């Protein structure tokens, strides 16, 4: 159920039926509301005539007599414009737009709604503008201009919110939800439908609220979220049953049947399908019985009218003279002939209009077809441009990485080689004492260790780019792996007076590549030493989280800002000197991340400026149940940046 104007089909009666019906109605029926209004229209002033013309047009509009409705609305517009009555002109143009909308002549409807909007703007009547915005949204929706429909619904909503017209607000939210649903914008559809339901419930429009509940379920269903859809369908069924609304219940059974079918729960789908068809048949029989009762009542009423007609004609025939009867009959004959001629003219004019409308519909379909073709070509062109831009970005990134690596290699190898060359020269000359030799040896050892770590990272990265990352997992003791790396980096830690605590329990087994885990611990521990102050402590811990071991390397050093954290784990990332002015390459954390993810884990960092950093990562606990050693190869494309 939607709150939109109903589309009505025009019915063209045969000329003879029009003549007879008009004659009987004119001679025998009591004055209708339209007749009363027409009597008041005669002799009225211009202000009152606008009011009566509008009322007569509304009466014809309500009975779907759109031709007569247009006649009176156009007459009203003509008088309003002649007398500069802007209010009357605004209402008349809006009414004309409504008639064209119901006649499905959306082009003319759009023209008159825009005219009405301009009149209301001159009047500064925001309430009137809100109504026209809603009408424009309906027209744009029918001609598939969805963006304009949404735009005018939002404009109408803003004005209705301003004046607190809650029922109109709820209706617009509901229609917006259905528009978004038709465009597969399901989150916006559900949001608007929920807003609509809340207001309907506040106002006590329980039937509208129940219908909205069903439509929320439909939005989830169309989005493929069948479990969420069932929640609302069940809720909607309870509300419909409480309201004893047979049609809402019947629709809900259909929705639930479709939903269970999508979920492959065919027994439930069959159950609700049976209930739907049973209720549909029952409602059809009730409607049919009601229709038969109405036909019978109309028939009996017609019999009474015919009897009254006979009595009236008998009395009139006795009272009338032969001369008067001749005049009356002659007048009737002339009127009948005139009406017949007018009916024939109207019929042919209507046929021509129908043919013209069909031709316009054909042209509209051709335009839509051409638009779809253009949209498809534009989409293909956009896709090609996107791929070209993506390839350009990748090439630029690779070129930047090449330049960076050559720069890193140049600096990282030159310094330790120069130091080694100088030391050998001094040794050869024999000018070094044992104390000086010991000091230089420790310094040189640190540089060689740092260069060794860098070289190992560089070789692993280069290998991954050429062959992909080869993972050869096995059960390893991470306690032992940490101990080996602590021993390797002991001199670096002692130099900065940093204590390293391995708090991982002994015999802590994980399923991973031992060489990769060794390099991961080496990078993370050396990184922690680099950014620790003298006298601080580094803690290495682990705990079991499901099927994974969660390992953390925590330092109490300088920490990082949120901006710097975002730049980690990339080969192009920044490098920062350590607390003792140690240099870095930015390659270690990138290799670490790739190795951890290749072994089925994840890595992240928790840090605060001035409060240290904690690097955490996960690795699988045990060997896969497949019974074979896991060995995966990540292609070069996947491992590239």
Per-residue pLDDT, 330: 83
Is residue 372 in some structural domain? no
Copy the structure tokens of residue 354.
Answer: 């129908």
CATH of the domain at 255: 1.25.40.10
Paired tokens of 397: 């990134």
What pLDDT sits at residue 22?
34
SS3 606: strand
Question: Mean pLDDT per 10-residue run, the chain (641 residues)?
Answer: 34 29 36 80 86 91 90 94 93 95 92 95 91 92 90 90 89 92 92 94 92 94 94 94 91 93 92 91 66 48 53 60 73 90 88 84 86 86 86 70 55 59 69 70 66 62 58 93 92 89 94 93 92 91 94 91 81 61 69 91 92 94 52 33 26
Same domain assignment for residues 137 and 169: no
Indicate if 135 and 175 belong to the same structural domain. no
For the four alpha carbons of 242, 243, 247 and 251, in that order, the dihedral sign comes to negative
Q: Determine the Cα–Cα distance for residues 248 and 240; give it in Å rounded to an integer.
A: 6
Sorted by sequence, the CB contacts under 8 Å of residue 378 that are 6+ apart come out as: none
129 shares a domain with 252: no
Q: Identify the pLDDT of residue 419.
A: 64
Identify the domain boundary among 161, 196, 228: 161
Q: How far apart are CA 176 and CA 443, in angstroms?
A: 72
- Domain membership of residue 403 (yes or no) is no
pLDDT at 8: 32
Sign of the torsion angle spanned by Cα atoms 498, 503, 506, 511: negative
Same domain membership, residue 542 and residue 454:
yes
Residue 541, in any domain of the structure: yes
Asked if residue 103 and residue 202 are part of one domain, the reply reads no
Continuous segment of H or E residues that includes residue 166: helix 166-182
Coil/strand/helix, residue 607: strand
Residue where one domain finishes, among candidates 272, 298, 324: 298
The pLDDT value recorded for residue 261 is 92
Last residue of a domain, one of 126, 161, 196: 161
In a domain, 250, yes or no: yes
Domain count for the chain:
3
Q: Are 530 and 551 contained in the same domain?
A: yes
Q: Are residues 120 and 221 in the same domain?
A: no
The boundaries of the domain holding residue 156 are 33-161
Query: In this structure, how many other beta carbons lie within 10 angstroms of the beta carbon of residue 478?
Result: 25
340 falls within a domain: no
Q: Are residues 111 and 140 in the same domain?
A: yes
Residue 426 lies in a domain: no
At 348 the pLDDT is 86
The answer on 540 and 599 residing in a single domain is yes
The residues pairing with 616 across neighbouring beta strands, listed in sequence order, are 552, 604
If you search the block for the tokens 């509940």, which residue do you land on?
A: 213
* Torsion angles phi and psi, residue 545, rounded to 5: -130, 90
Residue 6 to residue 101: CA distance in whole angstroms: 9
Q: In the prediction, which pLDDT does 228 show?
A: 94
Does residue 151 sit in the same domain as residue 188? Answer: no
On whether residue 406 sits in a domain, the answer given is no
CATH of the domain at 471: 3.30.565.10
Within 60-140, strands assigned E span none
Q: Do 180 and 258 sit in the same domain of this protein?
A: yes
Q: Are residues 607 and 467 in the same domain?
A: yes
Q: pLDDT value at position 584?
A: 59
Distances in Å between the alpha carbon of 612 and those of 388, 494, 525?
43, 19, 14
Whether 252 contacts 236, CB under 8 Å: yes
Torsion (CA) 374, 379, 380, 382 in degrees, nearest 10: 120
Distances (CA, A) of 71 to 25, 53, 60, 343, 473: 20, 9, 10, 16, 86
**Predicted local confidence at residue 626, as pLDDT:** 37
């Amino acid at each position: 159920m939607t709150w939109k104007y109903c589309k009505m089909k025009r019915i063209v009666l045969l000329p003879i039926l029009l003549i007879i019906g008009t004659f009987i109605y004119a001679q025998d029926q009591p004055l209708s509301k339209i007749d009363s209004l027409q009597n008041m229209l005669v002799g009225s002033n211009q202000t009152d005539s606008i009011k009566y013309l509008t009322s007569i047009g509304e009466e014809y509009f309500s009975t779907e007599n759109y031709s007569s409705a247009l006649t009176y609305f156009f007459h009203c517009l003509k008088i309003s414009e002649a007398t500069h009555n802007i209010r009357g002109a605004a209402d008349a143009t809006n009414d004309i737009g409504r008639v064209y909308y119901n006649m499905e002549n959306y082009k003319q409807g759009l023209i008159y709604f825009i005219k009405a909007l301009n009149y209301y703007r001159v009047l500064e009547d925001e309430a009137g503008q809100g109504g026209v915005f809603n009408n424009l949204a309906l027209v744009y929706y029918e001609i598939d201009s969805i963006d304009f429909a949404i735009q005018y619904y939002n404009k109408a909503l803003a004005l209705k919110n301003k004046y607190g017209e809650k029922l109109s607000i709820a209706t617009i939210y509901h229609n917006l939800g259905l528009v978004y649903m038709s465009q597969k914008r399901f989150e916006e559809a559900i949001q608007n439908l929920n807003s609509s339901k809340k207001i309907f419930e506040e106002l006590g429009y329980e039937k509208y609220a129940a219908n909205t509940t069903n439509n929320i379920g439909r939005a989830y269903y169309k989005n493929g979220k069948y479990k969420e859809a069932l929640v609302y369908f069940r809720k909607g069924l309870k509300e419909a049953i409480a309201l004893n609304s047979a049609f809402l219940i019947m629709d809900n059974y259909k929705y639930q049947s479709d939903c269970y079918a999508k979920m492959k729960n065919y027994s439930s789908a069959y159950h609700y399908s049976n209930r739907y068809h049973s209720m549909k048949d029952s409602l059809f029989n009730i409607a049919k019985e009601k229709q038969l009762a109405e036909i019978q009542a109309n028939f009996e009423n017609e019999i009474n009218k015919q009897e009254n007609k006979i009595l009236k004609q008998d009395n009139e025939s006795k009272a009338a003279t032969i001369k008067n009867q001749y005049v009356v009959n002659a007048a009737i004959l002339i009127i009948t002939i005139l009406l017949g001629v007018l009916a024939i003219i109207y019929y042919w004019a209507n046929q021509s209009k129908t043919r013209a409308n069909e031709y316009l519909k054909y042209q509209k379909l051709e335009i839509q077809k051409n638009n779809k073709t253009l949209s498809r070509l534009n989409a293909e062109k956009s896709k090609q441009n996107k791929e070209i831009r993506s390839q350009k970005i990748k090439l630029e990134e690779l070129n930047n990485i090449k330049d960076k690596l050559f720069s890193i290699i140049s600096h990282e190898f030159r310094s330790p080689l120069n130091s080694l060359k100088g030391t050998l020269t001094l040794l050869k000359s024999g000018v070094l004492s044992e104390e000086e030799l010991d000091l230089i040896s420790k310094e040189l050892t640190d540089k060689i260790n740092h260069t060794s770590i860098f070289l190992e990272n560089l070789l692993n990265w280069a290998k991954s780019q050429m062959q992909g990352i080869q993972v050869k997992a096995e059960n390893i003791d991470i306690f032992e792996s940490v101990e080996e790396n602590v021993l390797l980096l002991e001199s670096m830690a002692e130099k900065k007076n940093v204590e390293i605590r391995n708090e991982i329990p002994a015999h802590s087994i994980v399923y991973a590549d031992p060489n990769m885990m060794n390099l991961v611990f080496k990078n993370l521990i050396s990184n922690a030493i680099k950014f620790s102050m003298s006298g601080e402590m580094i803690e290495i811990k682990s705990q079991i989280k499901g099927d994974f071991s969660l390992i953390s390397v925590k330092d109490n050093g300088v920490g990082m800002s949120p901006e710097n954290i975002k730049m980690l784990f990339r080969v192009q990332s920044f490098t920062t000197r350590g607390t003792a002015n140690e240099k870095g390459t930015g390659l270690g954390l990138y290799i670490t991340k790739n190795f951890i993810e290749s072994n089925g884990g994840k890595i992240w960092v928790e840090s605060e400026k001035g409060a240290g950093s904690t690097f955490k990562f996960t690795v699988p606990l045990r060997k896969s149940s497949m019974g074979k050693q896991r060995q995966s190869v990540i292609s070069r494309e996947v491992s590239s940046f």
